[in-house]
Amino acid sequence: MSKSCLLFDNDGTLVDSEYLCNLGIAHAFLELDVTLDADDLVKHYRGMKLSEIMASISRQYSVELPDDFISSYRKRVASLFDKHLTPIEGVVYALDHLPHRKAVVSNGPRQKIEHALNVCQLRGYFNDNIFSAYDIGYYKPNPQIYLDVAAMMKVSPNQCVVIEDSKVGAEAGSRAGITTLFYNRYNETLSLPHVTSFNDMKQLPKMIANIS
Statement: residue 2 has pLDDT above 90 = no
State the CATH number of the domain containing residue 48.
1.10.150
Choose the final residue of a domain: 84, 106, 123: 84
Same domain (yes/no): 126, 47 = no
3-state secondary structure of 106: strand
Same domain (yes/no): 12, 95 = yes
Catalytic residues: 9
| Digit-coded pLDDT (tens) for 154-189 | 999 999 999 999 999 999 999 999 999 999 998 999
Angle between helices 110-119 and 69-84 (to 10 degrees): 10
Same domain (yes/no): 153, 117 = yes
pTM of the predicted structure, to 2 decimals: 0.93
- Judge residue 191's burial from the number of C-beta atoms within 10 Å of its C-beta, 0-12 exposed, 13-18 middle, 19 or more buried: exposed
Question: How confident is the model over 85-108, as a mean pLDDT?
Answer: 98
Statement: residue 151 has pLDDT above 70 = yes
State the CATH number of the domain containing residue 118.
3.40.50.1000
Same domain (yes/no): 46, 125 = no
3-state secondary structure of 149: helix
What's the confidence (pLDDT) of residue 81?
98
Confidence band of 1 (pLDDT split at 50, 70, 90): low
Same domain (yes/no): 111, 169 = yes
CB contact set of 49 (below 8 Å; sequence gap of 6+)? 107, 133, 139
* Number of other CB atoms surrounding residue 76 within 10 Å: 18
Mean pLDDT score of the chain: 96
Choose the final residue of a domain: 68, 84, 100: 84
Choose the final residue of a domain: 84, 119, 134: 84
Do 203 and 185 touch, CB atoms closer than 8 A?
A: no
Nearest residue to 137 (alpha-carbon basis) of 109, 115, 166: 109
Same domain (yes/no): 105, 145 = yes
Phi, psi of 79, rounded to the nearest 5 degrees? -65, -40
What's the confidence (pLDDT) of residue 47?
82
The number of folded domains in the chain is: 2
* Number of other CB atoms surrounding residue 98 within 10 Å: 18
Instruction: Please state the separation of Cα 153 from the chain's center in Å.
Output: 19
- Name the percent of the chain lying above pLDDT 90: 93
Distance (Å) of CA 154 to CA 157, 161, 170: 10, 14, 22
Same domain (yes/no): 162, 101 = yes
What's the confidence (pLDDT) of residue 212?
62
Confidence band of 10 (pLDDT split at 50, 70, 90): very high
| Digit-coded pLDDT (tens) for 26-77 | 999 999 999 999 999 999 998 889 999 999 999 999 999 999 999 999 999 9
Report d(CA 15, CA 11) in Å as an integer. Answer: 5
Do 176 and 147 touch, CB atoms closer than 8 A?
A: yes
Range of the domain at 179: 5-16+86-209
What's the confidence (pLDDT) of residue 113?
98
Strand arrangement, sheet containing 160-164: 130-132, 101-106, 5-8, 160-164, 179-183, 195-198
Instruction: Please state the separation of Cα 163 from the chain's center in Å.
Output: 9
Question: How confident is the model over 202-212, as a mean pLDDT?
Answer: 93
Same domain (yes/no): 129, 48 = no
Same domain (yes/no): 77, 167 = no
